[in-house]
């Protein structure tokens, strides 16, 4: 991965404003941004390790560990919460066997928060492997559970 970082920086530049694009590129390449890469990222963009770590941990989009084979994201923003999102989150965690923000022990499913999918009027909403699923209810949860079992 160090080679990926140096190649990326050589192509796109070593300025501080390249931190977010580099982190996105790394996550796209390997699925997460491993903590062991923080020193190399910091050095290549002339930032402190604390700067890099702070950005990785601030943005929910960055994963520090590999994701499960399936990723279920549940919307935690206001409209979905007003439409029963918190109860659905609890039901999803129970049905899928994984707590919010974690990956199930068998590596099959990661359950993650997302903050508004632009479908506020038809919430509560989810993203299942990148596809939006609206009006999450018990039936929808069953369909999701079947989908992510494979
Ligand atoms: S608040 Fe959930 S989609 Fe907008």
**Does 137 fall in a domain?**
yes
Does ligand 1 have an atom closer than 6 angstroms to the CB of 127?
no
**Does 94 fall in a domain?**
yes
How far apart (Å, rounded) are the C-alpha atoms in residues 27 and 34?
Answer: 9
Q: Are residues 76 and 51 in the same domain?
A: no
How far apart (Å, rounded) are the C-alpha atoms in residues 128 and 130?
Answer: 5
Q: Are residues 78 and 141 in the same domain?
A: yes
Looking at 13-116, list the stretches that DSSP marks H as alpha helix, in order from N- to C-terminal side. 19-30, 38-44, 49-58, 78-82, 85-96
Q: Looking at residue 89, which CATH number applies to its domain?
A: 3.40.30.10
How far apart (Å, rounded) are the C-alpha atoms in residues 30 and 74?
Answer: 23
**Does 65 fall in a domain?**
no
Does position 1 have pLDDT exceeding 90, yes or no? no
Q: Which domain holds residue 22?
A: 2-58
pLDDT in tens, 28-82: 998 899 999 999 999 999 999 999 999 999 998 898 989 999 999 999 999 999 9
Q: Which of 73, 74, 77 to mutate to test the pocket of ligand 1 (most atoms within 8 A of CB)?
A: 77
State the total domains in the chain. Answer: 2
Does ligand 1 have an atom closer than 6 angstroms to the CB of 68?
no
Q: Are residues 114 and 136 in the same domain?
A: yes
């Amino acid at each position: 991965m160090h080679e990926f970082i140096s190649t990326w920086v050589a192509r796109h530049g070593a300025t501080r404003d390249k931190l977010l694009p580099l982190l996105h590129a790394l996550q796209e390449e390997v699925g997460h941004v491993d903590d062991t890469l923080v020193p190399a990222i910091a050095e290549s963009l002339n930032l402190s390790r604390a700067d890099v770590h702070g950005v990785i941990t601030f943005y929910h989009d960055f994963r520090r560990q590999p994701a499960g084979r399936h990723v279920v994201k549940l919307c935690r923003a206001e409209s979905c919460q007003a439409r029963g999102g918190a109860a659905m989150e609890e039901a999803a965690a129970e049905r899928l066997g994984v707590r919010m923000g974690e990956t199930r022990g068998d590596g099959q499913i990661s359950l993650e928060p997302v903050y508004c999918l632009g479908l506020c009027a038809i919430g509560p909403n989810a993203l299942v492997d990148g596809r939006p699923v609206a009006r999450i209810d018990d039936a929808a949860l069953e369909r999701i559970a079947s989908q992510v079992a494979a």
